[in-house]
Structure formats: structure tokens, C-alpha cells
Amino acid sequence: MSALRFTRSLPLLASLLLAACATGPRGLQIDDSYQSLNQDSRAQLLILHYTVGNFDSALKTLTQPNPGGGEVSAHYLVRDEPVRTYRLVDESRRAWHAGMSRWKSWGNLNAASIGIEIVNPGRVDTPDGPRYVPFPQAQVDEVVRLCQDIAARHRIRPDRILGHSDVQPLSKQDPGPAFPWKQLWAAGLIPWPDEALADALRPQYEQALPDATWFQQKLAQHGFGLTQSGLWDAETRKVLAAFQMKYRPARYDGEADAETAALLDVITRRDGFRMKDGSLPR
């Protein structure tokens, strides 16, 4: 290189060196020209909720301080009418949406998850008794697109896209039995139990239903956090109801039956919990 060409290159080299350094607090120079390949996203789970209220009340609750304490927030709020997605908390920050939660080896999931609140009143009283309000299809489509985007960017595993009732089954029911989880399976987002295999296994459980210990072990193997008491206690029934609400929403009374046993058997088999294309979740 000639002296002239080298001299002309000096400003470019200097600018590249400066670009590799960021000025931090107190004038600290941080050089980020090297990036480790040994890293991943802090967001390991995606958790869906319903708001139990309309858009205005949900927006206020999720964005304003609560004078009585117990503030809550979520990364996203999906409106019902008109359908629109609002980002309330940056994904790089922790939102307060999961409470005292647990799933498999994770606890206190706020730090490791992204939360989506879906505007929906949840359970309402009607002249015919209580019922859960369906989600408009346009809103479901919006949730599916949002989940696809988040899961792709953070590489969130399909079996880590969950409901609030999965991670806090003793006190939460959202997004409830009216949420169409199977549409998320059809969209390639989550795995689903092999229903044909469950139907084939059902007769054996109609002949002999497993005891409480079996149900507790299977629920824990799937991912729920619950005490292995060996008893049909209130905790076990609530967790079982959360499982039924998602995979057998026609009846979610928390009572053990052959259909629920067959679904639990299938879902805890390595080859029984599959994606729409037949692959295993990974």
C-alpha cells in the first residue's frame, strides 16, 4: 500500500475502531467488537392470559400503579374490538404477569418469559349459569401471528408456549376452556396429544383407573408443579382441572376419568406429544 493510500485509510480505520467501542457511564469505553456464540434469549417461555375485563380497564391495570399494591403488567395486550396488538413492556425487560409460578425446572417465571394478555371477560354469569366467553376468530388469528413472531425471534420451544393456568394452576384459570389451543397446534406453534392413540388406550383405563399417585406423577412429568401426596386432595384436583381445561375442555371438573388418564398417558410418552407435521417439539 502506498503512503498516500495508507494515509487516506486512516480515517476509515479510526472510525471502525471507534464504532467497536461504546461510551458507557463515567466515560467507560466498552469494546463490543467480539460477540460470543455461547448465548441465547432470556425469554424461554411464552405465557398467555385473559384480562377478565374490557380493553380500557385492562390497559389501566397493566400500565398504571395500583394504590393498593400488587401491580401487574404484560409485554403485549391484544385487543378484541377492533383487533390490535399493543406493546406495553419491551421484551428485554421483565413484565409482572406470571406471579408465583412454576413449570418443570423453572420457578418465578416472570424473569424467563414473555406475557401476552388477551382482552376477554373470562367467566361470566348468564341466566343458564356461568360460562366462558369465546374469543373472536380475528383476535385468535392475531394472537397466533404474535406468538409465531415471538417464538421465532426468541427460539422458544413449542412445548414452552403455555397458559397462565399451566404455570399457576391453583389460583388461575386463564386463558380458560374457551381459548382454542388446538388452533395453535394447527398453526404449528404447539404440540398436541395423539388423539387416536388416546382413544385406543381409553378402554384399558375404563377397566381400571389409576390411583392418585399415578395421576400426580404424570401431571408432574408433563410439567405441572404439585405436591406428590398420593391423595386426591384439593391441589391435585385443581391441577387436573387445569390439564383438562386445555386438552379436554368439554369437561374440566378435576375428577379423574378414563379419558383424562389416556390423555395423560399419551402426552407423557416421547412419541405421543407431537407437532402438526408429526415431528417432536424441539
Mean pLDDT per 10-residue segment, the chain (282 residues): 46 48 73 91 96 96 86 96 98 94 94 98 92 97 99 98 98 97 98 98 98 99 97 98 98 98 97 94 89
State the Cα–Cα distance between residues 183 and 15, nearest whole angstrom: 51
* Known catalytic membership, residue 81: no
CATH architecture of 192-274: Orthogonal Bundle (1.10)
- Domain residue ranges in the chain: 45-186, 192-274
**What fold does the segment set 45-186 form as a domain?**
Lysozyme-like (3.40.80)
149-175 pLDDT, tens digit each: 999 999 999 999 999 999 999 999 999
Q: What is the pLDDT of residue 2?
A: 47
* pLDDT tens profile 50-99: 999 999 999 999 999 887 778 899 999 999 999 999 999 999 999 999 99
Instruction: Answer for the pair 104, 157: CB distance below 8 angstroms, yes or no.
Output: no
pLDDT at 66: 82
Measured distance CA(258)–CA(102) in Å, rounded: 27
| pLDDT at site 22 | 56
pLDDT at residue 26, as a whole number: 75
Query: Judging by beta carbons within 10 Å of its beta carbon (0-12, 13-18, 19+), is residue 224 exposed, middle or buried?
Result: buried
Active-site annotation holder among 71, 117, 255, 259:
117
- In this structure, how many other beta carbons lie within 10 angstroms of the beta carbon of residue 109? 22
